[in-house]
Structure 1
């Protein structure tokens, strides 16, 4: 899948070069919708106790700023993971000197953690055939499960009813990937929907 990872890296490196460390720089429309996704993904986590967290497709580390504002009373050991070297460089520069946050270049987790989240990493398929893109999604979900002790959360764009999906975007029905995770990982799969965006969040907890 090296071609898929290279395509993702090139796409997001171009975004950060054009828009900088902003929501547009990671292909979101604005900070409000970016953070609405964080709200949904972080329903995975128990903030009453310290925990470790992997952030896949971390971009410039926007999730750290959100955690600081909304959950500053909980100690989070954060690792951002991204396939774009330009993203990782920008994140390291932005959060340099931060003792509880680190960033690494790659597409797989180098450590076991309590939780992992991935925001938007499955949306932009570009010209990849659907079958190949779904192999990438399955491999990513396997890695998220393999390297988390308590669970992970991801999001997907919903397949529009009776409408044509924009070329290059991956959309799916609400049930398929939830069923995949529940069966493959013998896990509890929760779908969160109806928060005003054409997407849904999938939270997978270990049984």
Structure 2
């Protein structure tokens, strides 16, 4: 594995989940299939158009979001991207003809794909021993890098601070802190969703008002 900074710990964690649980929801460290399906629905609802769109699944894991999209009537041209060569190899075997890239977008000179929408599901929900501020800086740096490559919008999820207790291995971020970053660095056109019953929330960030 190349040096990918703080994300090395996350990649190692998810690859260990895949080795332990195989190509399942637990293999990408979602606790159950029902919750995973809810997240895929919420991510898909970031797309405001019914017309065909290009979508980049950033941190695609085992490609389960593509499975979800194929069960809907959405007209999506899908592309997957992940830091883990193991997950990308798995996806290429499962989905022949679909583009999957193994890429560190933060490297100098990286050829970052563009899309109408960039979906980051589960990319920032865990921190696996990474110091909180290191994780926050890595997250905001990545969001700032990727948002210009989204022609219409971007979606990502974070663990909520409004929980019975917080877990040290998860990344709980206050609404107001992520909101300040989004407004100052990305766009005033955003929506924070915490209406789907999980101990997290999803942020939609758009280039323009609907």
TM over 0.5: yes
**Unpaired stretches in structure 2, ≥5 consecutive residues:** 106-110
Deviation digits for residues 37-59 of structure 1 (CA, Å, limit 9, x no counterpart): 11111222134211111111100
Partner of 1:154: 156
Partner of 2:108: none
Once residues 71 and 23 of structure 1 are traced to their aligned partners in structure 2, the CA distance between those partners, rounded to angstroms, is 23
Matched, 1:103 2:104: no
Let me know the Cα RMSD of the aligned residues. 1.7
One of 7, 23, 30 as aligned partner of 2:9: 7
Once residues 120 and 174 of structure 1 are traced to their aligned partners in structure 2, the CA distance between those partners, rounded to angstroms, is 17
8 Å contact from structure 1 (residues 55, 78) kept in 2: yes
Once residues 199 and 174 of structure 1 are traced to their aligned partners in structure 2, the CA distance between those partners, rounded to angstroms, is 11
Partner of 2:38: 36
8 Å contact from structure 2 (residues 61, 88) kept in 1: yes
8 Å contact from structure 1 (residues 123, 157) kept in 2: yes
Once residues 187 and 121 of structure 2 are traced to their aligned partners in structure 1, the CA distance between those partners, rounded to angstroms, is 23
Once residues 160 and 166 of structure 1 are traced to their aligned partners in structure 2, the CA distance between those partners, rounded to angstroms, is 12
Q: Any idea what SS the aligned residue of 2:45 has?
A: helix
Q: Any idea what SS the aligned residue of 1:187 has?
A: coil
Q: Any idea what SS the aligned residue of 2:30 has?
A: coil
Number of residue pairs the alignment of both structures matches = 201
Q: Any idea what SS the aligned residue of 1:190 has?
A: strand
The aligned runs of 1:22-101 (5 Å cut-off) are 22-71=24-73, 74=75, 76-96=76-96, 98=97, 101=98
Once residues 82 and 154 of structure 1 are traced to their aligned partners in structure 2, the CA distance between those partners, rounded to angstroms, is 15
Once residues 3 and 185 of structure 1 are traced to their aligned partners in structure 2, the CA distance between those partners, rounded to angstroms, is 23
TM-score computed with the length of structure 2 as normaliser:
0.89
Once residues 143 and 184 of structure 1 are traced to their aligned partners in structure 2, the CA distance between those partners, rounded to angstroms, is 11
8 Å contact from structure 2 (residues 25, 32) kept in 1: yes
Moved over 3 A (4+): none
8 Å contact from structure 2 (residues 114, 149) kept in 1: yes
8 Å contact from structure 2 (residues 46, 155) kept in 1: yes
Partner of 1:180: 181
Deviation digits for residues 124-182 of structure 1 (CA, Å, limit 9, x no counterpart): 11111111101111012112212111010001110145x54222211012232133112
